[in-house]
Amino acid sequence: MQKTVSVVIPCLNEEKTIRQVLDALRAQSYPLELMEIVIADGGSKDRTREIIKTYQTEYPELKIQLVDNPKRIIPAGVNVAMMASVGEIIVRMDAHSIPQNDYVARCVVGLEARLGDNVGGRWDIMPSGSTWIAKSIALAAAHPIGVGDAQYRHSDTAAAVDTVPYGSFYRALLDKVGLFDETLIANEDYEFNTRIRQSGGTIWFDPQIRCQYFARPNLSRLAKQYWTYGF
């Protein structure tokens, strides 16, 4: 019997991409009747919530639940969404990443094959604009020289790794390692995966699980991102 899946998405002011994300999830090859989307919004001031509510009306076949994330930070949003979800498998997604149409199905296959306790895939880094700066930032963010051993940005080899972006796991894993650390404002995925590995679990990277990730559009946004990371 196929497993039920909850796709959880923390979100804040993502009016430019949230509809694309929902379109990509509605186009998934995994049965929609076994999927739900739970979006934790941190109080968006743009049209994000309006777009989500309109989408709920237009496409009732895609189960979408919109919940509030009063703490506004990503790990709190992930936790709120997971607690509101009901699926046997949790797939973590982002509001400005576009998954391939077999993304969810491949995550489920990897988990059912016991390849890892957290199974994730590759980011295909895309520029957020047409300027040379935006294109250069995207190129650097995908190159081994720029990102070191972050295999999920450039590798074509499936393997056990330290971390994957987003990832997917059985809900029961939360009973073992706990929720995401809400004291962090960045690197919450890496810290979560560290706890999985410390508990004896495996993080599995499958390059066939792919999504497009939109890099920061300019140097000021990039600097703000890395300031958050602590550099």
pLDDT at 165: 86
Sequence-ordered strand ranges (E) for 50-183 = 63-68, 89-92, 97-99, 118-126, 159-161, 168-170
| Whole-number Å distance between alpha carbons of 209 and 38 | 21
pLDDT at 168: 98
Read off the pLDDT of each residue in 77-106 and give the average, rounded to a whole number. Answer: 96
Taking a C-beta distance cutoff of 8 angstroms, is the pair 23, 95 a contact?
no
Angle between helices 18-26 and 48-58 (to 10 degrees): 30
What does each C-alpha distance from 10 to 7, 14, 108, 114, 133 come to in angstroms? 10, 10, 21, 27, 27
120-178 per-position pLDDT tens digit: 999 887 545 454 343 433 343 444 433 345 555 456 899 999 999 889 999 999 999 99
Taking a C-beta distance cutoff of 8 angstroms, is the pair 117, 205 a contact?
no
Residue in the structure block whose two tokens are 């430019």: 16
162-220 per-position pLDDT tens digit: 999 889 999 999 999 999 999 998 889 999 999 999 999 999 999 999 998 876 454 34
Domain count, the chain: 1
CATH of the domain at 14: 3.90.550.10
Q: pLDDT category, 222, cuts 50, 70, 90?
A: very low
What does each C-alpha distance from 28 to 5, 43, 159, 204 come to in angstroms? 12, 28, 24, 21
Backbone torsion region of residue 173, taken as left when φ is above 0, otherwise alpha when ψ lies between -120 and 50, otherwise beta: alpha
Q: pLDDT category, 40, cuts 50, 70, 90?
A: very high
pLDDT at 229: 33
Q: Which domain holds residue 49?
A: 5-229
